[in-house]
Amino acid sequence: MPVQGPTVPESLRTELTWERAFTQVALHVSSKVVFLSICTATEVAAEDLIVSVQAAVCHQMLLLGEACVADCALERAFARVDSLVGFYRVGKDRSIRAEPAVQQLLTTSWKNSYVRSHLM
C-alpha cells in the first residue's frame, strides 16, 4: 500500500511550478513542508540551497518536483541537513507519492556513516 503524502496547501498549489521544464530553483516553506522544484541542470544549486536553509527545514518534509536532482546530489544534500523527516515527489499530474528509497537515506546511522566517509 503506498504511503500517503502530505496535503499540499491550495495556496501553494498555485505557486508551484508544474511545467515539465523548470528554469530555476523555487523554494516554498509552509508549516512543516518544504516544496522544492528544480531541474536537473541546477543540481549543485539545489544542494547549496538545501544546505543554506538548514535551519528552516529542520523537522520538515521535503517535496521535490518530478524533474529532480540526481540521486548523488540528493544524498550529499541530505547528509548535510539534519532532521528532514520525509521526502515526497510531486508528479506531473500533481499527485504526491513517497520515495521509500530516499526515505532510507534520511536515517541517522546512514547520515553519520555517509558524512564520515564522504564529507570529512
Q: How does pLDDT run across 44-53, given as a tens digit for each residue? A: 444 555 544 4
| % of the chain residues with pLDDT over 70 | 0
CB 33 within 8 A of CB 6: yes
Q: Where are the domains of the chain?
A: 10-119
Q: Of the CATH numbers 3.30.450, 2.40.128, 3.30.750, 3.40.50, which one belongs to the domain with range 10-119?
A: 3.30.750
Q: Does the pLDDT at position 91 exceed 50? A: yes
Q: What is the DSSP string of the chain?
A: -PPBPPPPPHHHHHHS--SSS--S-EEEEETTEEEEE--GGGHHHHHHHHHHTHHHHTT-EEEEESS---HHHHHHHHHTSTT--EEEEE-TTS-EEE-HHHHHHTSHHHHHHHIIIII-
Sorting pLDDT into bands at 50, 70 and 90, what band is 87?
A: low
Q: Write down the pTM of the prediction.
A: 0.31
pLDDT of residue 104: 52
